[in-house]
Amino acid sequence: MIVPAAGLRGQKAPSSLHDAFDSQQAYSYTAQVASFGERWPGTTGHAKTEKLIHDVLKKDGAQVEADDFTAMTPGGFVPVHNIIGKFNVSADPRQPIFILAGHYDTLHKAGFIGANDGGSSTAILLSFADALAHQKTRMQIWLVWTDLEEGTFVDNDGLYGSRHLAKKLKDDGRSDRIKGFFLLDMIGDKDLNVAREAQSTRALQDVIAAAAKQLNYSRYFFQYDTAITDDHVEFLNVGIPAVDVVDAEFGRMGPRFDGMGEFHHANTDTMDKVSRSSLEITGRTILLSVELLDR
């Protein structure tokens, strides 16, 4: 029997935020969330996802803020629960804030599991929480799980949770302290290619590009342009710089498929379309971007 030396057991504390990102755990979280099944508000899967988020935030020592309200939608009244987990909160009332966000609800469609669309965004934020639990930042980092991003699809609606939260932060004055907002969406796609989303704040995209370059991941970022209506738009609308970190080409593209690819909003959005490697590339790049912005 060979006993590994202490330094080879992988128990050494990571020296940086991006090195603290555990892609194996992120993949496990994605599988766990996908196993909950359909996850639009009111479903058992949605409640299980909420509980998982709260359990991880508690384990990781986050300060939790709830943003609960009832949305009036074309499909009726829907209870909406945005969840905010805060890390490295100082006593300074002017401490800058940076937000990493993603939606945890799924499309309201029978049999839709959303391993990538809803699952990967939920999971990568859970792994961000695990990384932040042991890493100091000067900025206050908020992880925001938005709800009812997908809407009811009675009338092409959506973005309910983000709209409500962005307005609340504008109204109570906290938006002035928010230095930026990165939205993670569909970034578990095993064929990862993050779009240069046209409405996003260019200066923040440049920071992500610099981080990707440093990690040798440039080929996965900003190789094509597109415009996506996503949660980041609501934060841009209240003056917060924001980037949609979105892989907008999910599976084959073309006239026979949805505009975001063959697996987008299809019941084939399952775990076999997600990879640990894509979660690793996105997770490490985003956390290094936060480190660069924290200097």
Task: Report, in Å, the least distance between residue 156 CB and Zn ion.
Answer: 12
Residue 68 Cβ vs Zn ion, minimum distance, rounded to whole Å = 22
Supply the angle between the helices 23-35 and 121-132 in degrees, to the nearest 10: 140
Q: How far is CA 138 from CA 28, 95, 107, 210, in A?
A: 30, 8, 36, 20
User: In this chain, which stretch among 84-92, 116-124, 204-212, 272-280 interacts with Zn ion, using CB under 5 A?
Assistant: 116-124
Length of the chain as a residue count: 295
| Closer CB to Zn ion, 54 or 190, in the complex | 190
Q: Cβ(149)–Cβ(161) under 8 Å?
A: yes
Q: Which one among 38, 60, 105, 117 touches Zn ion, defined by CB under 5 A?
A: 117
What are the angstrom distances between the C-alpha of 235 and each of 106, 199, 231?
A: 21, 11, 7
Q: Is residue 129 within 8 Å of 56, Cβ to Cβ?
A: yes
* Residue 22 CB neighbour total at 10 angstroms: 17
- The DSSP call for residue 60 is T
Which of 38/117 has CB closer to Zn ion? 117
**Cα Rg of the chain (Å, integer):** 18
Q: Where are the beta strands (DSSP E) in 51-208?
A: 63-73, 76-87, 97-103, 140-146, 178-185, 194-197
In terms of CB distance, is 60 or 117 closer to Zn ion? 117
- Residues 55-114, interacting with Zn ion (CB under 5 A): none
| Closer by beta carbon to Zn ion, 86 or else 265 | 265
- Contact between 185 and Zn ion by CB under 5 A: the answer reads no
Least distance between Zn ion and beta carbon 118 (Å)? 7
- Give least dist CB 227 to Zn ion, A: 16
Task: Tell me the sheet residues that pair with 194.
Answer: 221
Which residue number, 97 or 228, has a Cβ lying nearer to Zn ion? 228
The residue sitting closest to Zn ion, measured at its beta carbon, is 117
- For residues 117 and 189, which CB has a smaller minimum distance to Zn ion in the complex? 117
- The distance of closest approach from Cβ of residue 58 to Zn ion in the complex, given in angstroms and rounded to an integer, is 28
Shortest gap between Cβ of 107 and Zn ion (angstroms)? Answer: 5
250: tokens are 């999910």
- To the nearest whole angstrom, how small is the minimum distance from the Cβ of residue 187 to Zn ion? 13
Contact 104, 34 (CB under 8 A): no
Return the number of the residue (117 or 197) whose C-beta is nearest Zn ion.
117
List interacting residues with Zn ion (CB under 5 A): 117
